[in-house]
Amino acid sequence: MIECPSCGKKHRPGTLFCTECGVYLPTGGALRTEPLSTNELPKSRATSWEAVAPEGERAEMLQPLRIHILASDRQVQLPATPELLLGRLDTAHGIFPDLDLTADGGLEMGVSRRHAKIIQRGGEFFIEDVGSANGTFLNDQRLTPYLPYPLNEGDEIQIGRLRLRIVLE
Amino acid sequence: MRADWEKDLYAVLGVSPEATQEEIKRAYRALARRFHPDSGTEVASPERFREIQKAYRVLGDPVRRRAYDQRRAERGLGAGAVLAWDIVASQEELPIISEEQMFYVLVDIRPAGGARVQRLPLNLCLVVDRSTSMQGDRLDYVKAAAHQIIDDLEDQDTLGIVAFSDRAEILMPSRRLDDQARAHSRVSSIWASGGTEMLQGLKAGLEQLRRFHRDDVVSHLILLTDGRTYGDEDECIVEARRAGLERIGITTLGIGEDWNDAFLDDLAHQTGGTCSYISYPQQVRDVLREQVRGLGSLFARDMRLTLRFGDHAWLEAAFRTAPYIERLVSQNETLNLGMLQAGSPARVLIEVVVASAPPGRHRLLQLELTAEVPALGRQVRLVSDLEADFAAEPSGEPVPAAIVNTLSRLSIFRMQEQAWMALESGEREKARRRLETIATRLLDMGEKELAHMALLEAGRVAQGGQVSEKGHKTIKYGTRSLGIKGG
């Protein structure tokens, strides 16, 4: 059995989150961390119904997306969800990006933990920088943070200094 | 090694899945000439040539080709696919240890890329609580919402309206919406009076729905209430279960703080439907529209996931985690997943306990998904085996982000479940600690409003007070919709 470093509850090996206190067990990350600045965090959507399907828009078919990380030649199939976060995993702060770029040298290449979002609306993909330290580039043009830009097949995006290619199915 | 059916042989030959046998033969010959090792062309490649030959061995033979198509369709691949699914496991390789270990499986279900989404006619019945407590704002907003729904529905749809207090009154029998003025005037005539007795309203509503219920329509009852019903809860559940068997869905919308969430949850669950919390009457319209829009984009229903475990594994727990979070109860190895809407993929997280096993590859479980796709008028079935290698020294690949992400949101939902349980059994200190932990986690996720609510309630518990109904419902339904953030 493994023991939760925070509350001492015992779990079977392989357990990822403590059922007692919610700690991420593989790292045993500290529970309390300094809150991130508000403009870095998405607004609460707990009661927002528009988040599921925007007003006046028919429910759409969501498509999966593939991203090719050029430096490490890694291809990742991302799930078909309305929103994907690109960044670096930080369990202590509860940041679990859909595409974690740690293994691709994310830290050295200046990837923020919460770097950019890929949004899917009406069958189209958009990329939005979410206030990253080193910026997001689309085909070598720096994006204005918090503004969505349309993505097309074969587009190259740059997260910090890490280059990725978009592969649409 | 990848199984044969995983590979798209049509792509290897560069033909469409609808290609005729003649077209396949022609494509094969052209490719074979180009890639043959002796062809002398620049692209000559023995590997590529073998691949082309292998593809032709299957596709060139009509019987083998049909079998291949069939197997691929069952797995959500290929042209005949209607439903697609992705199955991700926390580990490919498991360590050989003497004790039991945890293993997670994430299943994403969505309409297949090429599947047609067709809006089916809706057969709706609004069952509105008009007890005295609904008087004023609440009823006004409900009426405004009903007016909106009448405008939103299409000509082919049918709508009935039932109001209930001590008894049920059919304000508008189910009918096609060709006379909207009449429907509007019926809604305007709802007045508040009497107490809340849900059973009569529910029965009357279901009766209206049954008049237009067919296999190729979506029949759904939407119940709006702000109160508790007394003495007839069990009978309501029985009615709902019967409706579920007839494929009539029920959505429950609780307004304000005084309704019984466990009961309305249970009522909706009987049919694979959901319960939503409306804290401000102003939200009624948006929530109701969202529900109706969702029903209009229904892609599959009566969706069931069956888990057949091998000798070394068994089910610990299962949750739906998108579009919202919900604990799933397995009946005869089967999880009832209800509806699939075109715009919101379903996600299920399965927690598996794995016992010690000898080295080598073992089948942990088989997953089978069945669903009725009304647009096709038939059932669709997907099957997949999940295997894992047991090794003394596993390679230690990181757990896929999607699983960590999903579990992270799920853990908050589970902690609030436990907080209420602790409170009910009088363990106030435990409940307070959990609520505080939830607040911290929510804050880290940027869910400020929910975090503050959890902190507020933790404070109430610390001071020896009761948790507020508003807090309880906000946290319960708020953490549940953390699922919609996907990820």
The tens place of each residue's pLDDT in chain B, 487 residues long, gives 344 566 788 888 888 777 888 889 998 988 888 888 777 776 677 888 888 888 998 898 888 888 887 777 766 666 567 888 889 999 889 988 888 999 999 999 988 876 777 888 999 999 999 888 888 888 888 888 888 889 889 888 999 999 998 889 898 899 888 778 888 888 888 887 778 889 999 999 999 999 999 988 999 999 999 888 888 899 999 999 999 989 899 999 999 888 888 899 999 988 888 888 988 888 888 888 888 988 988 899 889 999 999 988 999 999 999 888 988 988 889 998 988 988 888 999 999 999 988 888 999 999 999 998 887 777 888 888 999 999 888 877 788 888 988 998 899 999 999 999 999 999 999 899 899 989 988 887 778 889 999 999 999 998 888 889 899 999 999 998 876 543 3
- Is residue A52 in a domain? no
Residue A87: closest C-alpha in chain B: B401
* Residues of chain A with C-beta less than 8 angstroms from the C-beta of B415: 19, 21-22
pLDDT score, position A33: 33
CA distance B204 to B168: 7
Paired with B170 in beta bridges are: B162
Contact B481 A59 (CB under 8 A): no
pLDDT reading at A91 higher than 80:
no
Domain B83-116+299-399 has CATH 2.60.120.260: no
Contact B450 A89 (CB under 8 A): no
ipTM over 0.90: no
The verdict on A9 and A85 lying in the same domain is no
Q: Which of A11, A25, A41, A49 to mutate to test the interface with B (most CBs of B within 10 A)?
A: A49
The verdict on A7 and A86 lying in the same domain is no
pLDDT score, position B472: 92
* Residues of chain A with C-beta less than 8 angstroms from the C-beta of B413: none
- Is residue A50 in a domain? no
The verdict on A17 and A69 lying in the same domain is no
Residues near B415 by Cβ (< 8 Å), separated by ≥ 6?
Answer: A19, A21, A22, B434, B437, B438, B441
Counted domains in chain A? 2
> Can you give the residue range of the structural domain that contains A92?
65-168
Contact A46 B450 (CB under 8 A): yes
Partner residue opposite A59 with nearest CB, options B293, B412, B441: B293
Q: Could you identify the residue written with the tokens 């992705």?
A: B86
Tell me how far CA of residue B349 lies from CA of A99, B83, B109, B425, in angstroms. 19, 18, 12, 28
The verdict on A98 and A26 lying in the same domain is no
Chain B: give the shortest CA distance to residue A39, in Å: 10
The verdict on A136 and A84 lying in the same domain is yes
CA distance A124 to A122: 6
pLDDT score, position A52: 38
Cβ–Cβ < 8 Å for B200, B225: no
Partner residue opposite B97 with nearest CB, options A13, A32, A99: A13
Partner residue opposite A32 with nearest CB, options B101, B434, B440: B440
* Residues of chain B with C-beta less than 8 angstroms from the C-beta of A53: 290, 293-294, 297, 343-344
Segment holding A159, helix H or strand E: strand A156-159
pLDDT score, position B322: 84
Cβ neighbours of A152 (radius 10 Å) = 11
Q: What is the largest CA-CA distance in chain A?
A: 52
pLDDT score, position A85: 92
* Residues of chain B with C-beta less than 8 angstroms from the C-beta of A11: 102
CATH number of this structure's domain B122-296, picked from the four choices 3.40.50.2300, 3.40.50.410, 3.60.130.10, 3.40.640.10 = 3.40.50.410
* Residues of chain B with C-beta less than 8 angstroms from the C-beta of A31: 437, 440
Contact A103 B398 (CB under 8 A): yes
- Is residue A88 in a domain? yes
**SS3 at position A131:** coil
- Is residue A43 in a domain? no
The verdict on A74 and A144 lying in the same domain is yes
pLDDT score, position B309: 95
pLDDT reading at A158 higher than 50:
yes
Residue A99: closest C-alpha in chain B: B401
- Is residue A81 in a domain? yes
Q: How far apart are the first and last CA of chain A?
A: 43
Partner residue opposite A63 with nearest CB, options B113, B287, B322: B113
Per domain, the residue ranges of chain B are: 4-74, 83-116+299-399, 122-296, 402-485
The verdict on A160 and A109 lying in the same domain is yes
Instruction: Residue A112: give its domain's CATH number.
Output: 2.60.200.20
- Is residue A74 in a domain? yes
CA distance B402 to B405: 5
- Is residue A1 in a domain? yes
Burial grade of B150 (CB within 10 A; 0-12, 13-18, 19 or more): buried
For the domain made up of B4-74, give the CATH fold: Helix Hairpins (1.10.287)
pLDDT reading at A56 higher than 70:
no
Contact A59 B403 (CB under 8 A): no
- Is residue A20 in a domain? yes
Partner residue opposite A12 with nearest CB, options B102, B414, B433: B102
Supply the pTM of this predicted model.
Answer: 0.69
Partner residue opposite B448 with nearest CB, options A44, A47, A93: A44
How confident is the model over A121-139, as pLDDT tens digits? 878 899 999 888 888 999 9
